Amino acid sequence: MLAAMKKVMGDAPLRKGKVTLDIPPLVENGNTVAIEVTVDNPMTGEDYVKAIHVFNEKNPQSNVISVHIGPRAGRAAIATRMRLADSQKVTAVAELSDGTFWSDEADVIVTLAACLETP
């Protein structure tokens, strides 16, 4: 997960705050886990959210989704479903127009893991 995050952020520091990751703490079935990410930031021409990224630590692909948005979106929020291979940490990162990165994370317990890719 850290390598995938470094690919997106480079060496920029990751700050806590502004981002809210809404995901159930206990999931019965890892095949379809609902997530919502919102960012508390203005969406003006000068100050806006450029992208929202979601990462996980145990799936075969750590970068779950990257959504590029801009000031005309009006609201910095995404909602989707993802698969979780096992109980793990999920991290949401918002990239702002000033080059800063903000985050929120959650630990999720998965009762029935999603199928894994085999090499």
Mean pLDDT, the chain, integer: 92
Percent of the chain with pLDDT over 90: 82
Distance CA(33)–CA(107), nearest Å, equals 13
Give the predicted TM-score (pTM) of the model.
0.91
Split into its structural domains, the chain has a count of 1
Tell me, yes or no, whether 118 lies in a domain: no
Q: Which residues contact 2 (CB under 8 A, 6 or more apart)?
A: none
pLDDT digits (tens, 9 = 90+) for 17-30: 999 999 999 999 89
> Does residue 46 surpass a pLDDT of 80?
yes
- Residue 116 pLDDT > 80: no
User: Do the beta carbons of residue 30 and residue 115 sit within 8 Å?
Assistant: no
C-alpha–C-alpha distance, residues 104 and 117, integer Å: 27
Q: What's the pLDDT at 119?
A: 53
Mean pLDDT within 87-103? 96
- Residue 88, in any domain of the structure: yes
Q: What is the CATH number of the domain that holds 25?
A: 2.60.40.2470
Q: Which domain holds residue 57?
A: 2-110
Q: What is the pLDDT of residues 101-111, one digit of tens each?
A: 999 999 999 99
| Residue at 66: amino acid letter | S
